[in-house]
Amino acid sequence: MTLFFENARLIDPEALTESTGNVIVHAGEIAAIGAMSAPADATVIDCGGKCLAPGIVDWGVKIGEPGERHRESFRSAGLAAAAGGVTTIVMRPDTHPALDTPEMLEFVTRRAAASAPVRMAHMAALTKGREGREMTEIGFLLDAGAVAFTDCDHVTTDNKVLSRALTYARSLGALVIGHPQDPGLSKGAAVTSGKFASLRGLPGVSPLAERMGLDRDLALVEMTGARYHADQITSARSLPALARAKAQGLDVTAGISIHHLTLNELDVGDYRTFFKMTPPLRSEEDRLAMVEAVAEGLIDTIGSMHTPQDEESKRLPFEEAASGAVGLQTILPAAMRLYHANMLTLPQLFRAMALNPAKRLGLPQGRLAEGAPADLVLFDPDAPFVLDRFTLQSKSKNTPFDGQRMEGRVLATFVGGAQVYAHTSKGAAA
């Protein structure tokens, strides 16, 4: 089937441009872009001047299969992704059991392909059981389709184990994802240390714990020559080390969650557990520094770090409540806060949310170019709404944006040229 998108505001994250034009999609790929007429056999979609961009490649999504399907399934995550303009989910391996064998990876790959309306890419554990004692069979996991290797927030403290894993990963060209944090300092912490944490009586951790963890990781990367990505850089004190590593030519990139770009430590307010994250929300000064780092390209990727938690896990005292927030369906409207505040342009946002994640993981998505997969999101950046968490497609509803006024609505989502979501009055998939 051939689709013809006309009168679209085209967001090109490669050229960092916006332009008005048309797009022809044929056989699941973008066939042409420009000021041309519709082919005779095409289905015409009038974009009405709304934005057409590459679908978001959301790196670092937790899904509850296997082990925690009551929190999120492949189907519910896929529906949430489609409604949020996410066309590729990059899944974390922090399942129960962990994705640390080729057999487990092949199982979830089949389950995801059969259940989710969007694409799924899978990361595998770096060490067995994510326990930091023995590395996984990286070569076999690569053959099974793993796009990267990470123990998520289980930081490997044994430098010899980590250096061996990095060395082996380098020999295979595998990408290793680190979680920069000193686990000793951050153990038991619920918020970022400071005056606000003291006033609330909550245990805090200094942002320097992140820098210390990053310094350790970068030293091992320098020693081994491995490909490395820091999953979340959230503190201004970490940026100079990241800049130095890139200047030295190390194969290093870094990401951040949309929550750390749009929220700060004061949002915890009266012990609101939906705002408890790992790492914790930072100061406003840190938040602004992170936004600037994204604009400059020092921080490469933005993801939702989607972490579904059930009601029982969040309805606890702040110190005891589980960390994390869902974000698949809210990443785009949350990102529009940065656009409307004139902090980041739409091409800059989609460079970080679509192009850079795809490039780093070796995926063909994330581009608005001829020959690229027709994974597209049509959205209105100005459409206002009040978020009701119970309308989210995710099984878990732990969003920090519940009840907040937001702008930016996904109108339609396409994966390989097939429409997987259309906005209705109830926001349901069509």
Domains of the chain, residue spans: 2-51+375-422, 55-361
Residue 270: predicted pLDDT: 87
What is the block-wise mean pLDDT of the chain (430 residues), using blocks of 10 residues?
96 98 98 94 96 98 95 98 98 97 97 97 98 97 98 97 98 98 94 92 95 98 98 98 98 98 94 96 98 98 98 95 97 98 98 98 98 98 97 97 97 98 64
Residue 424: predicted pLDDT: 85
Residue 425: predicted pLDDT: 61
Does this chain's domain 2-51+375-422 share its CATH topology with 55-361?
Answer: no
> Which tokens in the block code for residue 129?
């059981």
Residue 429: predicted pLDDT: 39
Which of the listed CATH numbers 3.20.20.70, 1.10.10.10, 2.30.300.10, 2.30.40.10 matches domain 2-51+375-422?
2.30.40.10
As assigned by CATH, the class of the 55-361 domain is alpha beta
Residue 145: predicted pLDDT: 97
> Which tokens in the block code for residue 1?
């089937």
- Three-state SS for the chain is CEEEEEEEEEEECCCCEEEEEEEEEECCEEEEEECCCCCCCCEEEECCCCEEEECEEEEEECCCCCCCCCCCCHHHHHHHHHHCCEEEEEECCCCCCCCCCHHHHHHHHHHHHHHCCCEEEEEECCEHHHCCCCECCHHHHHHCCEEEEECCCCCCCCHHHHHHHHHHHHHHCCEEEECCCCHHHHCCCCEECCHHHHHHCCCEECCHHHHHHHHHHHHHHHHHCCEEEECCCCCHHHHHHHHHHHHCCCCEEEEEEHHHHHCCHHHHCCCCHHHCCCCCCCCHHHHHHHHHHHHHCCCCEEECCECCCCHHHHCCCCCCCCCCECCCCCHHHHHHHHHHCCCCCHHHHHHHHHHHHHHHHCCCCCCCCCCCECCEEEEEEEEEEECCHHHCCCCCCCCCCCCCEEEEEEEEEEECCEEEEECCCCCCCC
Contact 406, 395 (CB under 8 A): no
Residue 1: predicted pLDDT: 86
> Which tokens in the block code for residue 28?
């699941």
Residue 428: predicted pLDDT: 42
Q: What is the pTM of this model?
A: 0.96
